[in-house]
């Protein structure tokens, strides 16, 4: 079940968390999954891999899909995972209570048993939808709100996050939006260009599909397999938390700008989507509230052959 936001020429279809036919995986938050968006004759997001896929497949998501506790590259795993033994439970924000199955480190792409999925409260209007989940489990407790809102008078929308630590234990996590950017249903290849406000590194090898030139990332040929890099070159400030992805053939460009300093920056691309992934740090003491957002601005840069 989806809810559609519509105003100023933009229409966004948002999957309502917990509704029939929506994502049931244990990786990404169930809130804020945008199925597709349109802007005039342009199309944004949508399916990025061949389907159909199971609703509990770890990456059967689209749009801005966000994740807490990825647990790689020195970032924290989900809440309580390291304290839990095999058979014990831990907390994945935006999902619920999961069960640890073995002694192996946390694996973000592994399916864990879902023990409890707290219900989401949804307030949906024509220009804004707010999704709220509250959970309390063995000292870890939170009140999490994810809202998507059209910005009046502009060709833009904003995703807003608000996390309050309502428990007795500190919450230390990293959060990112995967940003499965599919522009005008075009497969990823030389027509796509990604522009950063900093000069990213490291350079891709000569045999890679991807190529870096200054602050721009492009592709030598149509992608046949995934490309991934942990980017360097950013200073960590708010000014670096933005990126523009454009398709030079159709003219559609999307600028994504966040309001928090960057903790890490990952880049992923597959034949069906381009994914700039800035991570932000979430440290909330008991009783503390942390808020952050990303603004998505749409523009038409003109068509090039």
Query: What is the model's pLDDT at position 305?
Result: 39
Residue 305 lies in a domain: no
Residue 271 lies in a domain: yes
Residue 131 lies in a domain: yes
Query: Which residues constitute the domain of residue 52?
Result: 2-70+118-300
64-105 tens-digit pLDDT: 999 999 999 999 999 999 999 999 999 999 999 999 999 999
Instruction: Flag whether pLDDT at 107 surpasses 90.
Output: yes
173-215 tens-digit pLDDT: 999 999 999 999 999 999 999 999 999 999 899 899 999 999 9
Structure tokens, 84? 């839990």
Residue 192 lies in a domain: yes
How many folded domains does the chain comprise?
Answer: 1
263-290 tens-digit pLDDT: 999 999 999 999 999 999 999 999 999 9
Residue 78 lies in a domain: no
Residue 104 lies in a domain: no
Could you tell me the CATH number of the domain that includes residue 273?
Answer: 2.70.98.10
Instruction: Say what the pTM is.
Output: 0.96
Query: What is the model's pLDDT at position 74?
Result: 94
Residue 105 lies in a domain: no
């Amino acid at each position: 079940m989806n809810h559609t936001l519509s105003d100023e020429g933009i229409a966004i279809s948002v999957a309502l968390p917990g509704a029939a036919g929506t994502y049931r995986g244990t990786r990404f938050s169930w809130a804020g999954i945008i199925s597709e968006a349109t802007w005039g004759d342009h199309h944004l997001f949508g399916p990025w891999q061949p389907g159909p896929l199971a609703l509990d497949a770890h990456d059967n998501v689209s749009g801005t899909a966000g994740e807490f506790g990825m647990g790689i590259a020195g970032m924290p795993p989900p809440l309580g995972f390291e304290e839990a033994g095999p058979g014990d439970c831990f907390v994945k924000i935006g999902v619920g209570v999961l069960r640890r199955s073995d002694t192996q480190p946390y694996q973000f792409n592994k399916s864990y048993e879902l023990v409890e999925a707290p219900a989401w409260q949804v307030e949906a209007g024509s220009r804004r939808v707010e999704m709220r989940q509250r959970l309390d489990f063995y000292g870890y407790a939170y009140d999490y709100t994810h809202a998507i809102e059209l910005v009046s008078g502009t060709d833009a929308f904003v995703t807003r996050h608000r996390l309050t630590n309502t428990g007795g234990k500190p919450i230390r996590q990293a959060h990112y939006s995967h940003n499965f950017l599919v522009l005008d249903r075009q497969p990823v290849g030389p027509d796509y260009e990604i522009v950063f406000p900093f000069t990213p590194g490291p350079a891709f090898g000569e045999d890679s599909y991807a190529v870096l030139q200054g602050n721009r990332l492009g592709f030598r040929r149509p992608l046949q397999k995934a490309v991934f890099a942990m980017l360097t070159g950013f200073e960590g400030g708010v000014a670096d938390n933005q990126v523009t992805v454009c398709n030079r053939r159709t003219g559609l460009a999307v600028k994504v700008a966040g309001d928090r300093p960057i903790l890490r920056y990952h880049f992923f691309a597959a034949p069906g989507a381009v994914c700039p992934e800035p991570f932000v740090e979430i440290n909330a003491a008991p009783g503390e509230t942390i808020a952050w957002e990303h603004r998505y601005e749409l523009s038409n840069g003109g068509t090039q052959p």
